[in-house]
Amino acid sequence: MITRYTSPTIVLALLTLLLIALISVSLTLAQETAVTPIPTPTIPPEPVDLTCDPTELLRQHEQLTALVATVSIETPPQAGLALDNLFKVGAAYQELALACGYIPPDAADRPVGEDVQRVLNTLSRVYGDPINGQLLYNGELGCAVCHEAGGGTVAPYTEGTFTRVDEIRLQDHLLSGYTAEQYLIESIIQPHSYIVPGYTAAMPTFYGQQITLQQLADVLAFLLSQDGPSPG
């Protein structure tokens, strides 16, 4: 009797059933955990300094809401388009918030963009490390390729950058009212706004899209430390 009930076929059948049950339970669990939680809106730590025009903001908000309403996620052929629109609308809302002066918690890790004033506003939140700045300048960001290799012929020499900015550049009437920091940031993220006399507009314009706020703060700290005599 005992041998009949524990025959290999029955044991195998029972094990298979158990396996099926286990797989279906774990699949259900996996499905439940895969649901993306809806983020809880967070209150900004400080009052936001509204730098944008509220009427314009409202107009853009209405435009974006209308766009979301035009496509349905439930209709299969439109689902991809709907998700694409949702994604773009999300990005547009983020841009709006940034333009209005909102500083996201991960500001340090985002590319800085090309708005010098926005960078100046957010820079106080980040500590610039001049040693890391030097590493980035000579390595990853490739600044030294132009600013060192040619010994000042291709681009202004690195050594003495701060002294040169302070004593020569800021005396130019085109830069009246500029601070050294403002000039240096503009030189990096909007290099063609002011072309240093004697040089061509050879500096790439992509750094704003590439460099994070933390990297910019580090490079800035490095350049501000170049306060020796300027060789050129």
Question: Site mask, ligand HEC, residues 84-123, x = CB under 6 A?
Answer: ----------------------------------------
Site residues (CB under 6 A) for ligand HEC, limited to 152-191: 155-156, 161, 164-165, 169, 184, 187-188, 191
- Which residue from 142, 151, 228, 231 is in contact with ligand HEC, where contact means CB under 6 A? 142
Q: How many residues bind ligand HEC (CB under 6 A)?
A: 27
DSSP assignments along 137-186, one per residue: HHTTT-HHHHHTTTTTSSS--STTHHHHHHHTGGGSGGGTT--HHHHHHH
DSSP readout, 82-96?
Answer: HHHHHHHHHHHHHHH
Q: Looking only at residues 36 through 55 of this chain, which bind ligand HEC when binding is defined by CB under 6 A?
A: none
- Written as one string, the DSSP assignment of 130-142 is HHHHHHHHHTTT-
- Per the CB < 8 A criterion, the answer to whether 116 and 208 are in contact is no
Contact 120, 185 (CB under 8 A): yes
- Of these, 145, 149, 167, 206, which contacts ligand HEC (CB under 6 A)? 145
**CA 163 vs CA 122, 128, 148, 153, 211: distances in Å:** 25, 19, 17, 18, 24
Shortest Å distance, C-beta 228 to ligand HEC: 14
Least Å from the CB of residue 67 to ligand HEC? 37
- What angle is formed at CA 116 by the lines to CA 114 and CA 118, rounded to 5 degrees? 95
103 versus 143: smaller Cβ distance to ligand HEC:
143
Part in contact with ligand HEC (CB under 6 A); list of ranges 18-26, 32-40, 89-97, 203-211: 203-211
Rounded to a whole number of angstroms, the minimum distance from the CB of residue 49 to ligand HEC is 27
Nearest 10 degrees: CA dihedral of 5, 10, 15, 21?
Answer: -100
Window contacting ligand HEC (CB under 6 A); options: 15-23, 43-51, 117-125, 135-143: 135-143
Which of residues 57 and 170 has its CB atom nearest to ligand HEC in the complex? 170
Site residues, ligand HEC (CB under 6 A): 137, 141-143, 145-147, 155-156, 161, 164-165, 169, 184, 187-188, 191, 195-196, 199, 201-204, 207, 219, 223
